[in-house]
Amino acid sequence: MKIRLTLLLLTICVASWAQLPAADDIKTSKGPLKIQPLNHATLALTWNGKTIYADPYEGAKTFEGIAAPDLILITDIHGDHFDPATLEALDLSHAILVVPQAVADKMSDKIKSKAVVIGNGQTISKLDISITAIPMYNLPEAADSKHTKGRGNGYVLKIGGKAVYISGDTAGIPEMRSLKNIDIAFVCMNLPYTMDVPEAASAVLDFKPKIVYPYHYRGANGLSDTEAFKKLVNDSNKSIDVRLRNWYSKK
């Protein structure tokens, strides 16, 4: 009976991991950085014994097989980035949350007690990781746009000598195009919320990350053409490693 139960648990675990998109290991000065795409704008990074979640969304089931978070980054107030029900369902006993003020203003007192507020242009350090908040907003700028300048944060993380950029919901803004020495980038592309594929490719060709993952690519009319994004980038710059993953496979 015990053998059967063990085999059943093993099968469930393997099935859970089989649903996850492919993970990558990137060498850093303090061991590997594991990059695990999860869904839409959600990802997990594991490094130096610590686990980082970005924009946890769609329930605790999203993180099956992944360690509880030590650090959580939230980019914006929209439900596919700030998901209170998911946060309540996670084990936050050791977690620090890094958030923009607009997100903190919508948090319960319980969750807010774990939050550190950071605004565009500010840099803090947590768990031996430097975290800089980068603007994220729509172009042209307008008071009624879906993402106004200053409300949300993209992030640049310095992890073991590597720079990781998480764009959040943004157009190909000057602040993105002027980034330097980015090793790994996660760049959004979905209309009408952020930008289209050509604009995303143009921005990436300007700031030239070593590796780029198109993410957050489900829009009002379905999924953006990430293969077209890869072609646009690599036709102009073959040295940029465009990594396509299925961010919408895990149920």
Q: Are 126 and 158 in contact (CB under 8 A)?
A: no
For residue 217, being part of any structural domain is answered with yes
For residue 38, being part of any structural domain is answered with yes
C-alpha span between 221 and 155 (Å, rounded): 27
Q: Using 50, 70 and 90 to split pLDDT, how confident is the model at 49?
A: very high
Task: Assess whether pLDDT exceeds 80 at residue 5.
Answer: no
How do residues 149-198 score in pLDDT, each as one tens digit? Answer: 999 999 999 999 999 999 999 999 999 999 999 999 999 999 999 999 99
Please tell me the predicted confidence (pLDDT) of residue 26: 97
For residue 36, being part of any structural domain is answered with yes
- CB count within 10 Å of CB 143 equals 5
For residue 115, being part of any structural domain is answered with yes
For residue 205, being part of any structural domain is answered with yes
Closest by alpha carbon to 193, among 170, 211, 173? 170
Please tell me the predicted confidence (pLDDT) of residue 234: 98
Please tell me the predicted confidence (pLDDT) of residue 13: 44
Which domain CATH number covers 209? 3.60.15.10
For residue 225, being part of any structural domain is answered with yes
How do residues 239-251 score in pLDDT, each as one tens digit? Answer: 999 999 999 975 4
pTM over 0.75: yes
Domain that holds residue 30: 23-242
How do residues 82-94 score in pLDDT, each as one tens digit? Answer: 999 999 999 999 9
- CB count within 10 Å of CB 101 equals 13
3-state DSSP assignment of residue 165: strand
For residue 191, being part of any structural domain is answered with yes
Nearby residues of 138 by Cβ (< 8 Å), 6 or more positions away:
145, 146, 147, 148, 170, 171, 194
Closest by alpha carbon to 51, among 90, 17, 22, 79? 90
Please tell me the predicted confidence (pLDDT) of residue 21: 79
What is the tally of structural domains in the chain? 1
